[in-house]
Structure 1
């Protein structure tokens, strides 16, 4: 698969919570550091995602929110 996204973060699927239409995928990117993603249920099924899979989180620069503590 070719993609133009440059913000790829490798990680491991920690947990998948599937709803009626969408699913939340928790990705561990470093010890104690996680990223949560909401994708469609059909995407989880099509990719065959399961706990422990090694994946890449693709983050669109236009969709990243920044906050200061």
Structure 2
């Protein structure tokens, strides 16, 4: 699958928390950082997301903010 989104990062699912409607998925990236994604329970089931799955985190946003102290 090809996407127009440029921010694509490979990682491994380390935690899946299934809720009534939303599933929270934690993905460990190659450098050790973790990204958390909230997707619908239905989407998680369709994708077969489970701990140990290799996934691609896709970030598509119209605004990306930075903050400094």
Q: What's the TM-score once normalised by structure 2's chain length?
A: 0.86
Gap runs ≥5 in structure 2: none
The residue number in structure 1 matching 2:26 is 26
Q: How many residues align?
A: 69
| Structure 1 runs (4+) greater than 6 angstroms displaced | none
Q: What's the TM-score once normalised by structure 1's chain length?
A: 0.86
Distance 2:23 2:43 in 1: 9
Gap runs ≥5 in structure 1: none
**2:10/2:56 contact within 8 Å kept:** yes
Q: Map 1:33-52 to 2 at 5 A.
A: 33-52=33-52
